[in-house]
A = this chain, B = another copy of it.
Amino acid sequence: MGQKIAVIGLGSMGYGIAQSCLRAGHKVFGADVRAEAVERFQSEGGQSGALADHLGNIDTAVLVVLNAQQTEAVLFGEDGIAPKMKAGALVVGCATVPPACATHLAQRCGELGLHYLDAPISGGSIKAAAGQLGIMASGTPGAFDAAEPMLTACAETVFRLGDSAGMGSAMKAVNQLLAGVHIATMAEAMNFGLSQGIAPGTFLEVISKCAGSSWMLENRAPHIVAGDYTPHSQVNIWPKDLGIVGEIAQASGVETPIAETALAQYRRAVDMGLGHEDDAAVIKVYAKAAGLVLPGEDA
């Protein structure tokens, strides 16, 4: 029997999650500050009407918003949804947040009789739409039981990382440290190669088959080769996520000098006005400093 699932945040990841839940036979309410996203989702089979009218009946609320502040506001802010949900319902937090924030949200949900699954996601918008995400999850056995329908609909792989919220977010921070550094390093290496006469297309062809390759290199380098910075994932993500890494590292007395250096490059990209471009655009920081011309640019 299908569930009633609300997906809050219909961005590139949330929209795919909502579609995957629909395809699995659930009744899905899509919510977003952008009315056009909500209308588009309703036209594709989503439930109509205001989410507020149905909050007391939904089984699962999946939060796919930008950060910790938005997650907290959706749940407990003015018009927060948590106090209106029925006891035993489930909140799934997918945003990248500090582990301590996930722990705190789980505790406040628990006080209202709600389950909370700390469930950051990995895989990108195409995998989200295909129901093939990797989900780094932690929470009580009850939260995992309640999440079974949503996880089955959306995930190719569910990593069960522990019995309490926080471990999922910790693993996501680890993944973001690597992913953020790998994108910036791909840009650094491609620009370095360009200065030696190696065309971006040749770089991609050779390095993707060599020991210098990474998941992110294979995924993002083609954007630079094509000169196409349509934002599948924005530069703006990285000052946020590598900022979270830095906060955790500082609080834990751990050094992360490489992540800090990559963070500085993303901040330079934001300062250049590239925040809303695809994150591969961090290469423009390097190319501008070196006076090099990238594919798609005028010489």
The answer to whether B214 and A182 have CB atoms under 8 Å apart is yes
> Residue A12 at the B interface, CB < 8 A?
no
The total of chain A residues at the interface (CB under 8 A) is 70
| A215 / chain B contacts, CB cutoff of 8 Å | 210-214
> Residue A52 at the B interface, CB < 8 A?
no
CA distance A134 to B196 in the complex (A): 20
3 interchain residue pairs of minimum CB distance: A178-B212, A214-B214, A170-B196
| A189 / chain B contacts, CB cutoff of 8 Å | 174, 177-178
Name the segment of A16-24, A66-74, A108-116, A250-258 touching the other chain: A250-258
Binary interface encoding of chain A residues 97-114 relative to chain B, with 1 for a CB under 8 A from any of its CBs, else 0: 001000000000000000
Q: List 13 A-B contacts (CB under 8 A).
A: A122-B210, A122-B212, A167-B197, A174-B196, A177-B212, A178-B207, A181-B258, A192-B245, A195-B253, A211-B216, A253-B291, A254-B289, A260-B261
CA distance A209 to B178 in the complex (A): 13
Q: Which residues of A contact B (CB under 8 A)?
A: 99, 122-124, 134, 136, 157, 159, 161, 167, 170-171, 173-179, 181-182, 184-186, 188-193, 195-198, 202-203, 205-207, 209-217, 219, 245, 248-249, 252-262, 264-265, 286, 289-292
Which residue of chain B has its CB nearest to the CB of A261? B261
Least distance between A285 CB and chain B CB atoms (Å): 8
Which residue of chain B has its CB nearest to the CB of A124? B211
Our pick among B171, B192, B205 for the contact of A198 (Cβ within 8 Å) is B171
| Best-buried of A179, A209, A212 by chain B (most CB within 10 Å) | A212
Interface SS majority for chain A: helix
The answer to whether B252 and A196 have CB atoms under 8 Å apart is yes
CA distance A217 to B182 in the complex (A): 11
With A196-B252, A198-B170, A254-B286 known to touch, is A134 a contact of B188 (CB < 8 Å)? no
Which residue of chain B has its CB nearest to the CB of A187? B258
CA distance A207 to B173 in the complex (A): 11
The answer to whether B257 and A207 have CB atoms under 8 Å apart is no
Which residue of chain B has its CB nearest to the CB of A196? B170
| A174 / chain B contacts, CB cutoff of 8 Å | 189-190, 192-193, 196, 198, 203, 207, 212
| A214 / chain B contacts, CB cutoff of 8 Å | 178, 182, 213-215, 217
